[in-house]
Amino acid sequence: MHSNISEVSELPAAPPPFTLRLHHWVTTVDHKRLGVLYVLYALVFLVVGGIEASIMRLQLIRPHNDFVSPQVFNRMFTMHGTTMIFFMAMPMLFGFANYLVPLMVGARDMAFPRLNAFSFWMTALGGLLLYFSFLGGNGLYGAGGAPDVGWFAYAPLTAKTFSVGHSTDFWILSLLVSGIGSIGFAINTIATILCMRCPGMTMGKMPLFAWMNLVMAGLVILAVSPLSAAQIMLLIDRYLGGHFFDTQAGGSAVIWMHFFWVFGHPEVYVLVLPAFGFASEIIPVFSRKAIFGYSVMVMATVAIGFISMSVWAHHMFTVGMSPGANTFFVISTMAIAVPTGIKIFNWLATMWGGKIHLAAPMLFCIAFLFQFLIAGLTGITLAAAPFDWQLGNSYYVVAHFHYVIVGGIVFTIFGAFYYWFPKVTGKMYHETLAKLHFWLFLIGFHLTFDFMHVPGLLGMPRRIYTYEPGRGWDLWNLIVTIGVFFQAAGILAFVANLVWSWLRGKVAGNDPWDAWTLEWSTSSPPPVYNYAVVPTVLSRRPLWDLKHPEDPDWRYE
Amino acid sequence: MRRSLEFVRRICILSVCAAMPVLAQARVDSRLPTNIFAPASTPAEAIFGLSIFVLLTVAGIFIVVFALLAYAVVRFRSRPGDDHSEPAQIYGSDRVELSWTVIPVLIVITLFLASARVIASVQGAVPPPGALEVTVIGHQYWWEYRYPELHIVTANELHVPVSDRAHPTPTFLTLLSADTDHSFWVPRLAGKTDLIPNHPNHTWIDPYEPGVFLGQCAQYCGTQHAKMLLRVYVQPPAEFERWVHEQEQPAQSAAPSTGQRVFESTACVNCHTVSGTPAKGRFGPDLTHLMSRDTIAAGAAPNTPSMLRLWIRNPDAIKPGSKMPAMGLSDQDVEAVASYLETLR
């Protein structure tokens, strides 16, 4: 790269360094740069989606509030859901996988670097298409017309009759395009993990993070494909006179639900498996112990992958399925609690008897364990179909899945940020600011999402822009909204920490955590080629073996 | 199978007894009109029993696992004076793994059997002789109720007879939709069931006590999903009979007023029905007995003279995005139409 810069700068009309740097970022096929691009892109959408959520919470701070109109509110929850799932959580986790998986398996890049770049830019284009709907939905005259059909866009609300203009079309296209990016990423990840491992790294010696991303990538292919198929059918309905979901012409609204949730539920595991991966790397290092029950963790991950494909209709307990179907989806859904429980117990056993260092990454993982436990248990209450007849589509469900996605996934993402920040930037983050971020976000999270369960139990449905007083919902909604301010303050501390540490942070060194996986053996940040010499490993913790030649892991595995 | 179900039933009863203090607390809150823990009908009560059993089970699991986590963090955290040696490395234990696989499996099977039993009892109910049949049709953003045996059509306020536990007179609802998906949810009477176009659904209620039970649409159905409110009037048999008798009457046939002429010569009649008159529209609520209802605009406003006039003049003032257009009537015409509607008792 240095040679490139000197060559170009000798030219008479040399572009300024900034555009050149930009050019390098835009045309890069390096897995690390693409990983960083994914993560930065996702951070932008984290803030955008957060603003949309705040608008909703301000509207709901008291009954009969008129902060925004029903039309704006409905667009906000549609955009918030779509953004956070498809353009925050997925790119964020893909970014981390992109950066870390090749490093962890001792490879010099992903299997298909150009496909990797293509996948990122497709995802990026998807996000732009979604937000272009604000301008293009109804044309400039009706600007602001983002989709308002909800993030699962139940038919027939998406039919031409009920959704005029183009906002739903932009929603369809954005998911279709980003879906192509997701599938490209998944194929790439599977190929990298299966074919690019360094000498000595059998499947049974891979870091758990790689295992969980392998299963996640498999789920992406299985789950995103039916979603893309459904989007194409919906486009056919809207433009070519098809009647798949157009109930006024005899189509089926229920078929759309099946298509959507056969994507939608595995999607939860697409998001949570990488989060499990973060926890499985961070908890052992900060407990100073090897992961407890590695092979059981792998089996549990694969089991979750399989079972997650057979639970989708638990989102449909209220659509009038037969008692037999309802019963089947109760047992399949509850069954997934077993491998998930095994994981929680294994993380606990990893901490047991260790020396737990309460640095920011570990704090976020401990909070994750606590919150994911609750999220799993409220999940069991929802899996009991009759209970779901009351709880489904109420604020209890909203609280439950935010517990999974924020309390579980976002907390581990923050943990992962702090854990790998020194590797990616070469600088150490500011520990006090990180702890401030942790406590602010923890308080905000619990104020918002603990108390959000209550109005659901008291009969408050989701997706209502206003509510009636006198139902016992007012106080809870006020508390929930107050929590948002704490969360926003936490995010502010987080972004400030990233920027400040990147510019001013102390030099971190190659291995600040005294960790054990391969990425800590190369420089921080790693060179373009990752490893000057492709490493050879003997155990699951190659750096432990190096640091403890008297007691290496390969004696026990 | 039957024995295990019996076992589960006993566990349910036992746990509900154990939960009596919690339960009593929940009962107190029956002042809250949409509390799912204050059931007043068999389906809601069956769900309530199951929900207490499930909540107690998961609460038990939470306490155990949380205690272990809290203990681990406090007991095994590194302290300032620690040496830098590494703790003993333990790679796993098959016996321990087996125990935390088998115990959750047993818990899951128990919860599954308890759920399966309630699914069968609620979904498998057969209408007894004397059950009332009502067809509920969801519209953007209001409810249409048709009583096929009684030839009554009304809107937004469902009237049903109270049901005696010894001689139940339940109401069986057939759920249809005229446009998008909706969901019928009156938490104190039953769980929710969706109204989906081309996909008739069924649910039932047998309220034990008279009163007004509230709920609202629970499946996002468009702009005014929030103000698609539900009111169920549970009445003693005699009172219900009286209501039926009133609803069976055609509209009052006094001499046509100015208001009626305005009503019948504007687009009002395209959407609304007033039986025995040329108004035969079905897009909006049937107005034949409008004045017998407590609310207008699907529960969004009380049925008072001033609200009725505001609603006719500018529906968006009460329910922005509702399907009723502002007809642009003069103040005189609004007054005349409102006066006419006020005769529809």
Whether B224 and A70 lie within 8 Å, measured CB to CB:
yes
pLDDT tens digit string along B36-54?
999 999 999 999 999 999 9
The residue among A363, A372, A304 whose CA lies nearest residue A344 is A372
Same domain, B11 and B119: yes
Residue B93 lies in a domain: no
Mutate: best of B23, B32, B141, B192, partner A, most A CBs <10 A: B192
Quick one: pLDDT at residue B10? 52
Same domain, B109 and B28: yes
Residue B79 lies in a domain: no
Place A497 in a pLDDT band, splitting at 50, 70 and 90: very high
Residue B248 has pLDDT above 80, yes or no: yes
Whether B73 and A356 lie within 8 Å, measured CB to CB:
yes
Closest CB to B194 among A320, A348, A390: A320
Asked whether A254 and A318 are in contact (CB, 8 A), the reply is: no
Q: Which A residues 379-418 touch B at CB under 8 Å?
A: 380-381, 383-394
Same domain, B136 and B236: yes
Place A2 in a pLDDT band, splitting at 50, 70 and 90: very low
Residue B330 lies in a domain: yes
Same domain, B209 and B280: no
- Buried b / exposed e along A158-180 (16+ C-beta atoms within 10 A): bbeebbebbbbbbbbbbbbbbbb
A288 touches chain B (CB under 8 A): yes
Total Cβ atoms within 10 A of residue A241: 9
Q: Counting beta carbons within 10 angstroms of the beta carbon of residue A199, is it exposed (0 to 12), middle (13 to 18) or buried (19 or more)?
A: exposed
Give chain B positions within 8 Å (CB) of A392: 191-192, 218
Whether B58 and A156 lie within 8 Å, measured CB to CB:
no
Mean pLDDT for chain A?
94
Chain A: nearest CA to B216, how far in angstroms? 8
Give chain B positions within 8 Å (CB) of A342: 97, 100-101, 104
Whether B198 and A148 lie within 8 Å, measured CB to CB:
no
Whether A384 and B50 lie within 8 Å, measured CB to CB:
yes
Residue A237 has pLDDT above 60, yes or no: yes
Rounded average pLDDT over B257-276: 93
Mutate: best of A340, A387, A391, A453, partner B, most B CBs <10 A: A387
Same domain, B11 and B106: yes
Place A109 in a pLDDT band, splitting at 50, 70 and 90: very high
**Pick from B193, B215, B247: which residue ends a domain?**
B247
For the domain that residue B137 is a member of, what is the CATH number? 2.60.40.420
Closest CB to B225 among A370, A383, A463: A463
> Hey, CA dihedral for A244, A245, A251, A252, is it positive or negative?
positive
Same domain, B279 and B183: no
Asked whether B140 and B179 are in contact (CB, 8 A), the reply is: yes
Residue A4 token pair: 């490139």
Whether B199 and A320 lie within 8 Å, measured CB to CB:
yes
Specify the amino acid at residue B15: S
Same domain, B174 and B209: yes
The residue among B316, B156, B335 whose CA lies nearest residue B263 is B335
The residue among A339, A307, A471, A329 whose CA lies nearest residue A392 is A329
Chain A: nearest CA to B35, how far in angstroms? 4
Quick one: pLDDT at residue A461? 97
Q: Which CATH superfamily is domain A2-555 in?
A: Cytochrome c oxidase-like, subunit I domain (1.20.210.10)
Residue B108 lies in a domain: yes
Same domain, B298 and B205: no
Q: What share of chain A is helix, strand, coil (3-state, %, to 5)?
A: 70, 0, 30
Same domain, B240 and B286: no
Angle CA A310–A314–A319, to nearest 5: 125
Quick one: pLDDT at residue A439? 98
Place B79 in a pLDDT band, splitting at 50, 70 and 90: confident
pLDDT tens digit string along A251-266?
999 999 999 999 999 9
Question: What percentage of chain B reaches a pLDDT higher than 90?
Answer: 83
pLDDT tens digit string along A376-414?
999 999 999 999 999 999 999 999 999 999 999 999 999
Give chain A positions within 8 Å (CB) of B283: none
Residue B36 lies in a domain: yes
Same domain, B115 and B141: no
A465 touches chain B (CB under 8 A): yes
Quick one: pLDDT at residue A15? 59
Please give the residue of chain A at the shortest CA–CA distance from B83. A355
Residue B261 has pLDDT above 80, yes or no: yes
pTM of the model: 0.93
Q: Which distant-in-sequence residues (6+ apart) come within 8 Å of A262 by Cβ?
A: A223, A226, A309, A312
Please give the residue of chain B at the shortest CA–CA distance from A552. B89
Residue B86 lies in a domain: no
Please give the residue of chain B at the shortest CA–CA distance from A63. B226
**Pick from B226, B247, B268: which residue ends a domain?**
B247
Closest CB to B219 among A377, A393, A470: A393
Angle CA B271–B274–B275, to nearest 5: 125
Quick one: pLDDT at residue A556? 84
Range of B50's domain? 2-71+100-123
pLDDT tens digit string along B280-294?
999 999 999 999 999
A290 touches chain B (CB under 8 A): yes
Helices (H), A406-516: 411-425, 431-451, 453-457, 474-504
Whether B225 and A464 lie within 8 Å, measured CB to CB:
yes
Question: What gap in Å lies between CA B263 and CA A146, rounded to an integer?
Answer: 37
Residue B147 lies in a domain: yes
The domain total for chain B is 3
pLDDT tens digit string along B194-203?
999 999 999 9
Question: What gap in Å lies between CA A151 and CA A173, rounded to an integer?
Answer: 14
The lowest-confidence range among A49-63, A86-100, B29-43, B66-80 is B29-43
Which of the pair, B165 or B5, is modelled with greater confidence? Answer: B165
Mean pLDDT for chain B?
91
Place B108 in a pLDDT band, splitting at 50, 70 and 90: very high
pLDDT tens digit string along A169-182?
999 999 999 999 99
